Amino acid sequence: MPTGPVRRATAIAVALLGCLALLLTGCSRPAAEPVAAVPTVSAASLPPEARETLRLIDAGGPFPYAKDGTVFHNFEGILPKRPSDYYREYTVPTPGAPDRGARRIVTGAGGEAYYTDDHYKTFRAVRR
């Protein structure tokens, strides 16, 4: 059985290994996920239909499409990760399109807005 300095060195080594094990197994907070930077666009430079959609969103409606205001689930993962009901989507009418078209405004519960003109393939954060 070790005595004196050997025993003390062994105890210190065991304590240090225990601390290292705690750090490696999650005793600290996990690192935040990096979020890809979403390009920005000024509201003034959006198409007039998108500016009108933003005005309707700010006014609380009425909205021309039944799907306006429904949950946007961010399945593409392009927008920052948030709870599943955080984002809402709104149609931006596309002149000449026989249906709702590809353009949307997606808003977050924190007040942010994103514009897509290619049906969720890319987004731009709207600066107001």
Question: Per-residue pLDDT tens for 6-35?
Answer: 666 565 655 555 444 544 445 444 443 444
Q: Are 70 and 85 in contact (CB under 8 A)?
A: no
pTM of the model: 0.72
Residue for token digits 């009418």? 93
Query: How many whole angstroms separate alpha carbon 127 and alpha carbon 105?
Result: 13
Name the residue type at position 116: T
Q: What is the pLDDT of residue 31?
A: 40
Question: Per-residue pLDDT tens for 100-126?
Answer: 999 999 999 999 999 999 999 999 999
Q: What is the pLDDT of residue 126?
A: 98
Examine the residue annotation and report whether 73 is marked as an active-site residue of this protein: no
Q: Which residues of 96-110 are buried (b: 16+ CB within 10 A; e: fewer)?
A: eeeebbebbbbbbee
Phi and psi angles of residue 33, each rounded to the nearest 5 degrees, phi first: -70, 135
Q: Which of these is catalytic: 33, 76, 89, 112?
A: 89
Q: What is the pLDDT of residue 2?
A: 59
Examine the residue annotation and report whether 119 is marked as an active-site residue of this protein: yes
